Structure 1
Amino acid sequence: MTATWSWLVGWSIVLSGVGTPSDAREDSSPAGVAGNVWPGFRGDGRSVTVARNLPLEWSPQKNIAFRIRLPGYGQSSPVVWKGQVYVTAVEGEQKEKLHIVAVRLRDGRVVWHKEFSASQKGRNNPMMSRAASTPIADEQGVYCFFESGDLIALQHDGKLRWQRSLSQDYGAIKNNHELASSLAQDAQQLFILVDHSGPSYLVAIDKATGKTRWKADRPSRTSWTSPVVTQVDDTTVVVVASGDTVTVYDAATGKVLATLDNLVGLNIASPVAEGEWIVLGAGVNRLKPDAAASARSNCLLRLQHKNGQWSLSQVWPGKKAVSAFASPLIYDGHVYFLTREGMVHCLNARTGEPRYVERLEDEVWATPIAAGDRIYFFGKKGITIVLKSGAEFEKLAVNRLWTPEEYAARLAEARKEAEKKLPPPPPGKGPAGGPVVPPEEMQAVRYATVGDVVYAVAAVDGAFIVRTGTELIVIRQPTGTSSR
């Protein structure tokens, strides 16, 4: 195997702790997810952890350490920094209240809870984003971004460091379903993507001061993807996949280094990057459906820098797999894509050739987490499927956060409450103003974010931290027991 392709097998083997010095586990830099931190969306952007002693099995009566009710409603991932979990939420008829909560991982005690006023109001109902942007944590504290454009930096003890509003600085954010892009980071900067029907942009914010370091204007387009940070040679770059285009920016200056057009459906699932290699997750555009074109866009790209010139090219196109809400995962030489119907597609990362296609017991909105020789698929209804990583489909466990009866009862109650807020779809159109959809699909879309939806999960040594719209659930087996 050449060095060029060695990452495809070795990339995540190294991260899973094989041959990793023990002191590397305490690395808390944005470049690696140590066992006691989960600093941002998908950890460090790859959804791979070196966390040890993660539970394999759980149920409502087994290995649930605690559940706590959160204020308001939130769709962001929890982030973890050395024993402290941070979550965000919004509340109020117009999402006028912004919540940031710090929870002690050991026992679920709320360490502090801060509330802020939104600088831009929005509709609060299941058809809209509700605190969907995942925060970022580092040694200095936590940075939180909301769909209102508010950006807030707090110390780990909850003290305010700085605060600003991008909607006030750069114009109101206008997006059907509103904004959902999560923060990305390097050592000194935060990167925020605001793609919407107004003037769009990618902005770099100084972590220490909250001031803008650079701002790159972008064409207006609707998207909910998140930027990712990677390094090629000695250059740190920011990769943005949105609409039909992938754009690579110099993280230091905001200069566009490379672009690739003529792709499809890069609106929800975010890319994953390691060095010069980028995997895209693309969905089907309901307004202009082309399943074959969407499948081709679930692909592997290569970003190269030769003789002072940057280029971005497709290594292999996808064939059948498409993405929905979960971003792709690359691990142990394989790529995993998740469809809206709950199908997992496993592909050879080097060639793009399919290994298997199987239906899981639940739809999966959260990006799966890879750890050791396992991949955890946290389904939106609280069913988690654990697979053995690799080319063969091998199921290790199926776990539930609620019994089927309990889940059904809670969902029925949540739907009653949602009826009070859900607006009727436009006459003769779908719920977002698109083409008319069948009644069954209409119901599914309108109620998709009602009830105990599992939006995201964080992993640290010995525990998973699950985020639903209204709860934080920690899964942890008793000390001294084996996770097999």
Structure 2
Amino acid sequence: MAKPTEWNQFRGPRGDGDAKDSDLPISFSERKNLTWKVPFEGKAWSSPVVSEGIIWATNALEEGKRLWAHQFDWNTGRQLKKILVFENPDPQFCHPMNSYATPTPVLANGIVFLHFGAHGTAALNATTGKKLWERRDFKCDHWRGAAASPIPYNNTLIVHFDGYDVQYVVCLDQKTGETLWKTNRAFDFRTNNGDNKKAYCTPSVINHEGRFELISPAAVATEAFDPSTGKLLWTARTGGMNASSRPIYSHGHVFVFSGMGSMSAIRPGGNGNVDDSHITWSRRKVVPKKSSPLLLGDFLYMVSDEGIASCSDPLTGEVIWAERLKIKGQCASSPIHASGRIYSFSSGGDCLVFKAQREGLEILAHNHLPDGCMASPAVIGDSLLVRTKDSLYRFEKP
């Protein structure tokens, strides 16, 4: 039985939201299947990460002048450490829909990496919390706040900076924080309006026929780089702006999202401009602007911002079914999968569990948690870890 033993980055160890065979509770609440609950006040949309019995999560207040890291015990939920990572006396503007601590941390090689966009990136010892290094020299105007999470690749950390003014990707040495490469966006945005140049997307590294590619969606286009050197491999003009859904790879395609309600299926392995040669299909129907997809077997599952769940054929883009979930708020949190079930959380507090199946929407449970979710959940073994706007919950069957 394949169950995650760690959840070390945004959307889990493979970055795809799939908890495989975890036997999570279908129904849960403040009283049902609750292992523990701890208050976690602030305004932060980052997801918690977990490894070796320790939970890390970032936090901030609405004004953004202090940026924190919190360490919790997995078994009890007890807060072990609260560390002031950065003081930020003059924070950039942050849209009310966003927060000053939206990027999800990374756990790798005994280090927790904390990223707050242009306000700073830091590495702490994951056990003691001692700061190992920090970088505050990467600048860009996020315009609406930062959201892209860093990702681990071998012994490096890769981070997007897609701002109003400048747009680039950096790769850092995990141990020292030294810059290994930095690559500017190479395509023509065909606009002077910086608002149309910004993006919030967390990238993914894939292995396509033996070639590793860093799939890096931006505004207007998606680029693929060699993750070891930063060399540009190919570019596809996927359109849009504000891209935030993490790309996913399966069935010989990467599935990327524009941030404006459209998506594309692209065959990796190309060189140069691949608009005419490698884009298999694009579509706009029931496509999320914020949350990331699930690709399970031969089907692509998504939940749009408005709460429309859908099942599609990943090879053609055909929508097999699309049905509205009865939710309050919107679905910005990315869904997860476990044992044939999809878990979707809304900003209004709805937590729906439905079957991952071709035959249509079958809701198994409609749960509710006060204050709602912007963060995406994490899974360890048969436990579900959920961060709402003011609390951290662990759920598990008795």
What TM-score, normalized to structure 2? 0.89
Does residue 1:151 correspond to 2:118, yes or no?
Answer: no
Amino acid across the alignment from 1:38 = W
Amino acid across the alignment from 2:318 = E
Deviation at 1:156, TM superposition (A): 2.1
Deviation at 1:319, TM superposition (A): 5.4
Residue 277 of structure 1: which of 228, 250, 253 is its match?
253
SS in 2 for 1:316: strand
Aligned to 1:267: 243
Cα 1:283–1:121 change in 2 (3 A) is closer
Aligned to 2:23: 53
Aligned to 1:385: 352
- What are structure 2's unaligned runs of at least 5 residues? 187-193
**Which has more strand, going by share of residues?**
2
Q: Please give the alpha-carbon distance, in whole angstroms, between the structure 1 residues aligned to 2:284 and 2:166.
A: 34
Aligned positions of 1:163-312 closer than 5 A? 163-166=133-136, 169-171=137-139, 173-218=140-185, 221-265=197-241, 267-274=243-250, 276-284=252-260, 294=261, 297-304=262-269
Alignment coverage as a number of residue pairs: 383
Q: Please give the alpha-carbon distance, in whole angstroms, between the structure 2 residues aligned to 1:186 and 1:389.
A: 30
Cα 1:396–1:322 change in 2 (3 A) is closer
Aligned to 1:347: 312
Does residue 1:141 correspond to 2:108, yes or no?
Answer: no
Cα 1:159–1:61 change in 2 (3 A) is closer
Aligned to 1:117: 86
Deviation at 1:318, TM superposition (A): 2.3
Amino acid across the alignment from 1:273 = Y
Q: Please give the alpha-carbon distance, in whole angstroms, between the structure 2 residues aligned to 1:370 and 1:211.
A: 36
Q: Summarize deviations over 1:200-253 as a string: whole Å, max 9, x none.
A: 210001111111100001266211111111112333221111212010010010
Does residue 1:331 correspond to 2:293, yes or no?
Answer: no
- What are structure 1's unaligned runs of at least 5 residues? 1-16, 18-24, 26-33, 285-293, 408-450, 479-484
Return the index of the structure with the highest Cα Rg.
1
Q: Please give the alpha-carbon distance, in whole angstroms, between the structure 2 residues aligned to 1:115 and 1:395.
A: 45
What TM-score, normalized to structure 1? 0.74
Q: Please give the alpha-carbon distance, in whole angstroms, between the structure 2 residues aligned to 1:125 and 1:266.
A: 13
Q: Summarize deviations over 1:415-462 as a string: whole Å, max 9, x none.
A: xxxxxxxxxxxxxxxxxxxxxxxxxxxxxxxxxxxx543421111112
Give the conservation status (yes or no) of the 8 Å contact 2:26–2:365.
Answer: no
Cα 1:82–1:274 change in 2 (3 A) is farther
Residue 100 of structure 1: which of 69, 81, 95 is its match?
69
Sequence identity, in percent? 24
Residue 461 of structure 1: which of 381, 384, 391 is its match?
381
Q: Please give the alpha-carbon distance, in whole angstroms, between the structure 2 residues aligned to 1:81 and 1:310.
A: 40
The alignment yields a C-alpha RMSD, in angstroms, of 2.4
Aligned to 1:374: 341
Q: Please give the alpha-carbon distance, in whole angstroms, between the structure 2 residues aligned to 1:196 and 1:148.
A: 9
Give the conservation status (yes or no) of the 8 Å contact 1:77–1:457.
Answer: yes
Amino acid across the alignment from 2:70 = V
